[in-house]
Chain A
Amino acid sequence: MVEHTGWFDRVATALLIVGTIAVCLPILLALVVVSMPDGQELQAVYFIPGGHFLENMARAWTREDLGRQIVNSLVMAAGITVGKIAICIISAFALVYFQFRYRQIIFWMIFATLMLPIEVRIVPTYEVASNALLPAQQIATFLGFDLNLQWSLLNSYWGLTLPLIASATATFLYRQFFLSVPEELCEAARIDGAGPLTFFFYILLPMSLTTTAALSVILFIYGWNQYLWPLLITTDSSMSTVVVGVAQQIAVDEADPKWNMVMAAAIIATLPPVLVVLLLQRWFVKGLVDAEK
């Protein structure tokens, strides 16, 4: 039996409490700041609430285009989550369960995109986003055709989601999972006369539900918290996301920002992903830890 007595446990508990308070300190202060009446944010340093919390939250909510930006963030996060899962699960299915020419090449092409975030190729990706048919057009021009193709993704939901879907992490997660599914299952299904699509929809998809749930939580947070990309491709503030909107409130250099409003907006912007993490904690932890394997 491991000893569980004495000063060591007490020190550990004390440090744990101190550490937890330290981790929560920024949000505590933010909550206090929100409760301060206008112009008295300075008083928040003593961590004594000012009693205007709900009122200020309501004001922040109606001020600016917060509602509109929340909708944009939701569409973007949901679009990235659903889009990524949909295209990744079918390509992982093809890679694991089919024998076809170029399988190895395709596998390595997808593999190569792993871990290269959009931040490293922003300028050219921005050019493609301003005309998604640019590659096709340039190839056509190269081949001697004179085409004028134009499909701008700027200030659109396509632009907010599609470029961020282009990465392979989810494909790998599903591939790992499919490889762990016993082959006998597929053989049995085939003997019973199931084709590949029947097997996929009736057996593999239901089996992947926990993996999908875990992955959804991670991808939703990833999508919601995007910053650089929405900042670049949304010039129209009605297409902006809430995280970008909050940051822009303090970027106004001339006037000192209204801190109680900024913090209220920051809390509103943070609430959806935090709720997702807290309410779906089990899936969230599974999603994180699964990605390691």
Chain B
Amino acid sequence: MQKRALFSGSALPYLLVLPQLAVLLVFFFWPAGQAVFQSMTISDPFGFRVIFVGLDNFKSLLSGKEYWSSVRVTTMFTLCATFLSLAGGFFMAVFADRAIRGQRALKLLLIWPYAVAPAVAGILWLFLFHPMFGSIALFLKAIGVPWNPSLNGTHAFVLVTLAAAWKQFSYNFVFFLAGLQAIPKSLIEAAAIDGAGPATRMVKIVFPLLSPTTFFLVVMNFVFMFFETFGIIHAVTQGGPGNSTNILVYKVFRDGFIGQDLGSSSAQSVLLMIIVMVLTVFQFRYVERKVVYA
């Protein structure tokens, strides 16, 4: 819905949008266009010759094993970390909502991880799970798990998943707590009077009322796990061991800047953009629906 426009300047509105458009053109549309263009070319490492190859980069990407293995890792990573983080955030919000005393202090203790940079979060967790120093690693060894994330792909995967889930936990917690506190107390009380116990109320009232929040959070978590976890991967595992944590965004970086394969890296960028656009469209469909029914 657009507001009834109230001013009709001649040059002023253009001047007002100019700075944003200029920045977007130079740092967004131009690079995005370049990515699309480069994804259809191959060039030698020094950039002297550029050959147009059509969709060959995409074809060789999608027919190779490596890309699909990265897709698999990314999907597993995103699903696991999102699930852990959402479940953790939800249950902690439910408990915190019920807590009678110390709610403020608790909230502070639970929201600070939001402020930790992903790369630093990765380092904190790396130490916790460090095969020589880490408390949890030593505990695992004591109960017979030969823990070593620098050699074992599964261990590395678990490590980065936990770090990512932890980092995103606070975000989910804040939203779920705000959502829970927005549920009218009268609804809960009416259900309680009708004889619904805590579990029934949770399933029949709280879940449905929180479903828009949950949906929003799923999308936001996906976006976070897809892109912003780059710092965790780069600082902790560098995609290894043996590509076991080589998520898509890390692969774009590795192929583009370390492997100098610009064509393939750009093709991957284009595919990533398409994935995010699909997510965004999803998101806005839902926002529209919410506005209609609100």
Contact = CB atoms under 8 A, between A and B. Distances in A.
Do A and B assemble together? Answer: yes
Contact of B27 (A3, A166, A228): A166
A122 B253 contact: yes
A1 B127 CA distance: 47
B288 to A, nearest CB: 12
B115 A90 contact: no
A266 B120 contact: yes
Given A115-B276, A120-B276, A127-B34, A166 B28 contact: yes
A251 B72 CA distance: 26
Nearest to B28: A166
A259 B32 contact: no
Given A26-B124, A183-B3, A228 B19 contact: no
B25 interface: yes
Nearest to A165: B23
B138 interface: yes
B12 interface: yes
Contact of B269 (A46, A121, A274): A121
A8 B199 CA distance: 11
Nearest to A88: B20
Given A29-B135, A45-B138, A117-B228, A123 B24 contact: no
A7 B121 CA distance: 35
Interface residues of A, number: 108
Interface string A178-199: 1100010011001000001101
B227 A119 contact: yes
Interface string A12-37: 11011001100111110110010000
A167 interface: yes
A120 B269 contact: yes
A183 B6 contact: yes
B45 interface: no
A95 interface: yes
Interface string B112-133: 1111111111111111100011
Contacts of B128: 25-26, 29
B120 A128 contact: no
B34 A124 contact: yes
A99 B265 CA distance: 42
Main secondary structure of the interface of B (DSSP, over half): helix
Interface stretch (B55-63, B74-82, B102-110): B102-110
Contacts of A250: 123, 126, 235
Nearest to A126: B257
Query: Interface centre among A98, A123, A134, A197, by most B CB within 10 Å?
Result: A123
Nearest to B32: A121
Given A16-B106, A45-B135, A124 B117 contact: no
Given A124-B34, A183-B3, A285-B174, A87 B19 contact: yes
Contacts, number: 311
Interface string A243-275: 110110011000000010011001001100110
Contact of B12 (A20, A196, A228): A196
Contacts of B166: 23, 26
Contact of A20 (B106, B114, B127, B235): B106
B99 A125 contact: no
Interface residues of B, number: 103
A54 to B, nearest CB: 20
A162 B27 contact: yes
A263 B123 CA distance: 8
Interface in B1-56: 1-9, 12-14, 16-17, 19-21, 23-35, 38
A227 B118 contact: yes
A14 to B, nearest CB: 9
Contacts of A178: 3
Contacts of A93: 16
A227 to B, nearest CB: 4
A227 B230 contact: yes
B223 A277 contact: no
Nearest to B111: A277
Contacts of B66: none
A166 B24 contact: yes
B125 A26 contact: yes
Interface stretch (A64-72, A106-114, A140-148): A106-114
Interface in A275-291: 276-278, 281, 284-285, 288-289
B114 A91 contact: no
A253 B126 CA distance: 15
B96 interface: yes
B234 A99 contact: no
Contacts of A4: 100
B68 interface: no
B108 A278 contact: yes
Contacts of A247: 119-120, 122-123, 231, 234-235
B71 interface: no
B178 interface: yes
Given A124-B266, A134-B30, A162-B27, 10 more contacts: A15-B95, A42-B132, A87-B20, A94-B14, A97-B7, A120-B269, A124-B32, A135-B25, A165-B27, A232-B257
